[in-house]
Structure 1
């Protein structure tokens, strides 16, 4: 099983790299209301959450999967933002959307969460319902939602961590 995961992780990283739009991966969005979490059967590290109950907070929705090398590379930044800004009103929600069948197994996701030291809520999106609601096409992808429930910023792929963090700070400071 471990060999299969390692091989799949290499493939996933290559697939994610091939799918990323290079030049303008980070962009403000047109302030549309963020879709609710949809089709989530399992919540890890949390009771079920809704964006409606998170109004008044800034929410980082992180689409990821545990065998994606690019996703793994973003985790230090995401975990850092969670630690640094949770008490200032940031809620990080990892939306684990599997690329491969073995990533659908909740026990495998739980083991990955433990291995990577993820303490924020993770929604298991095996049916791609939340993925589809956001019109997402990439791993990893960040969606920052402002205090009013609007998508204020997106970023696809690795990098631009300082820019993303600056947007987090701006959204937290906004009324």
Structure 2
């Protein structure tokens, strides 16, 4: 008659093996789910591509690469039927007045939405009406808007703002609509501008 030790050994070994297997499975860290596509957070920390703009106002033609060492705020806008653009204009003008001499460059990028043909003279008139003293350019066919924003996810707004640091890296995005004077969005944008200006 076999002893208890010899008869139960295989069972004990099976139990131990099963326990070790469970412990191993529990200790394995499964990879985290990737973040859902479409959020602007996917773009934070990435280098902003070069833009393709023309029809410059208030400035010679600029390249993003030429602005290294500056903090750059790029705001897409349109007219005349854009209440969000009208509401945001005073904030941009205040930023220009308060921070241009400290290293901030604002670029207002016009993207045409009207059914009438695009006329540079009308863009200039709209920019003057909004009080823009900073560089303004035209994004024909939305070439840069598509590359920077619309083709990178599900984007409900086109009046987007990108805040780019001195190394050309996207650090903050306002996804569209307005940021009026005194609003939380405007205060956050100003905080980010100050933060990036302080960086070396």
Correspondences of 1:1-175 after superposition (within 5 Å): 29-38=43-52, 40-67=53-80, 68-102=82-116, 104-136=118-150, 137=155, 138-155=157-174, 156-159=176-179, 160-175=185-200
The number of residue pairs the alignment matches comes to: 150
Choose between structure 1 and 2: higher strand proportion.
1
CA–CA distance in structure 2, aligned partners of residues 35 and 62 of structure 1: 15
Q: CA deviation at 1:139?
A: 3.6
RMSD across aligned C-alpha pairs, in angstroms?
1.8
Deviates more, 1:127-136 or 1:160-169: 127-136
Q: Report 1 or 2 for greater relative contact order, CA contacts < 8 Å, sequence distance ≥ 6.
A: 1
Q: State TM-score, norm by structure 1.
A: 0.80
Where does structure 1 differ by over 3 angstroms across 4 or more consecutive aligned residues? 25-29
* Larger radius of gyration between Structure 1 and Structure 2: 2
Are 1:93 and 1:123, in contact at CA under 8 Å, matched by a contact in 2?
yes
CA–CA distance in structure 2, aligned partners of residues 153 and 115 of structure 1: 28
CA–CA distance in structure 1, aligned partners of residues 49 and 64 of structure 2: 8
